[in-house]
Structure formats: structure tokens, C-alpha cells
Chains A and B, each alone.
Chain A
Amino acid sequence: MLNSVLFYFFAALAVGSALVMITRRNILHAALFLVMSLLATAGTFLQLQAEFLFIVQIFLFAGGITALFVLAIMLVKPRVPEPATPFTKRRLMVTGAALVFTAQVLFAIVAGHSSLRLAARQLDIAPRNAEAVGDALFHSFIVSFEVASVLLLVAMIGAVLMARRGRNAFD
């Protein structure tokens, strides 16, 4: 019971702040609502017994990436606010595509419910979540882990190259 109430609270918070985020004119407000949506998602992670990812989500996303976004917003403050986009043909097309996609995925979920019996079993994950995740990460997924670290190194070099003053890709 409490579980359901908490789930609906986090879900409403996540979707609601995401909707506010994409409609705000002010980018800084949008960034703050992005944090709220990410924190609400972290609550959902905790409900799914993913304690390690709950903490990582708060540290990395709500802390680190948002700080990066806010810093970028400070540096590129636009002089004129973004004009209100009128209800154009493009918007109509986007709404239509989103509705079609929603219908498709909902159909897949409903069909999967009857054929795969998704709700029939729900196993508990090992109680020591961080230990289990680390075990899987360093035994079964060690190659992916190394590739991910190389990806981060390349991204770091790329970001520095892109953002530094002087010669760059757009000259």
C-alpha cells in the first residue's frame, strides 16, 4: 500500500517536472526542474531495490551533470529570450508521432502482459546491492567496464578540445 503511494508520488513528480522542464522559457528554471525529475526517478530506483544506482543517480546526475548544465547556461546566457513557438505544422507532426509511438509501446506492454505473464514473478535481488553490482561489473562485464573507461577518457579530451579558446572545430 505504502509502496503504491510512494510510486505514484515519485511518478507524478518525475513526469510533472519533466513536462514543466520542456515548457519553461527560462533555461535555468528548466535545469532546476530537470534535477527534480532526476531525483524523483532516483526514488523509483530505490523502490526497485537498486540502492547503488539510487546513490549514483543522485551524485552523478542530480549533482554532477546538473552542475555542468548550470555552468554552461551561465556561459551562454542568451541576450534575447527564446520566442514562443507558435502551434505550427511541425509541432502537430511531433505530437502525432509521439501519440503513435505511445500507442505502439502501450500495445506491446498489453500484448506482453498476456503472453509473457510479466507480472507473474518478481524475484528479490541480493540484499547487498552494491556488492552484487560490483561483483557483476568486475567479473562478467570487465571488458565493457574497460571500454566505458576509455569512452570517458575520450569524452574528457573531446570536451576540453571543444570548449577551449582559440583554434577549434568551428573556425
Chain B
Amino acid sequence: MLSIEHYLILSLALLIVGVVGMLTRRNAIIVLMSTELMLNAVNINLIAFSRLHGSVDGQVFAIFVMTAAAAEAAVGLGIILAFFRNHKTVDAGEVDALKW
């Protein structure tokens, strides 16, 4: 029998993979993809708890998380494109204009 812990641990595994990818990769696009992975892991949690409580509120919240993820992807890729146009690179280590 599947309990909620199975889903929580799956979500934890995906979140950790996302965190490690975000912190170790240099390519800004892969950093953004790892963010999507982490938001997706959060959605599994929300939906699992929604199932646990027999209410759709968690699913509605997951819809808002998806909205934020879509907005973030669009703006993030726009920023990466603008950065690439000016610096000819998408290496996250090169983004240091605001570093003092």
C-alpha cells in the first residue's frame, strides 16, 4: 500500500537533485531548468497532501505554483537572451556586473 511518505520522499529526491544541479552547473539555462525541477517537486508534495486530506485546495495551490514557474521561466529566459546578446556567453560565473 502506498502511503504519503512515498510521495514525500520522491519529492525530496527531486528537490535535492534540483538543488545540486542549480548549485553545481555553470550554464545559466541548466540552472533555470533545475529551478523548474524544484518547483515540480513542490507540486508533488502539494498534491499528495491534497489527496491525504481529500480536498482540492492543494491542487489549486499547485496551479498557482505552476503559474509562478511559467512566469519565472519566461522572464528568466528573456534575461538570459539579453545577457547572451551583450556578453556572448551564458556562463553563470560570468554574470558579475552587480558584484562589487
A and B associate in one complex: yes
Instruction: List the B side residues contacting A27 at CB < 8 Å.
Output: 27, 29-30
- Known A18-B18, A34-B37, A95-B20; contact A76-B29, beta-carbon cutoff 8 A: yes
CA distance in complex: A19, B27 (Å): 16
Q: How far is the CB of B8 from chain A (nearest CB, A)?
A: 5
Residues 11-68 of B at the A interface (beta carbon under 8 Å) = 12-14, 16-21, 23-27, 29-30, 32-34, 36-37, 40, 43-44, 47-48, 50-57, 59-60, 62-64, 66-68
CA distance in complex: A45, B58 (Å): 12
Q: Closest B residue to A64 by CB, please name it.
A: B70
Give the interface size bracket for A toward B: 35 or more
The answer to whether A118 touches B52, judged by C-beta atoms less than 8 angstroms apart, is yes
Q: How far is the CB of A114 from chain B (nearest CB, A)?
A: 11
CA distance in complex: A136, B91 (Å): 43
CA distance in complex: A47, B79 (Å): 37
- Mask of A54-91 contacts with B, CB within 8 angstroms, 1/0: 00110011001100110011011010001001000011
CA distance in complex: A64, B77 (Å): 13
Give the interface size bracket for B toward A: 35 or more
- Mask of A28-70 contacts with B, CB within 8 angstroms, 1/0: 0011001001100100110111101100110011001100110
Instruction: List the B side residues contacting A155 at CB < 8 Å.
Output: 70-72, 74-75
CA distance in complex: A82, B21 (Å): 14
Q: How far is the CB of B34 from chain A (nearest CB, A)?
A: 6
User: A44 touches which one: B30, B44, B53, B56 (CB < 8 A)?
Assistant: B44
Known A-B contacts: A94-B23, A136-B60, A168-B82. Give 19 more (CB < 8 A).
Answer: A7-B6, A14-B10, A22-B30, A48-B50, A49-B51, A56-B63, A57-B66, A61-B40, A65-B36, A82-B26, A85-B24, A98-B16, A122-B51, A136-B59, A141-B60, A148-B64, A159-B78, A163-B77, A170-B83
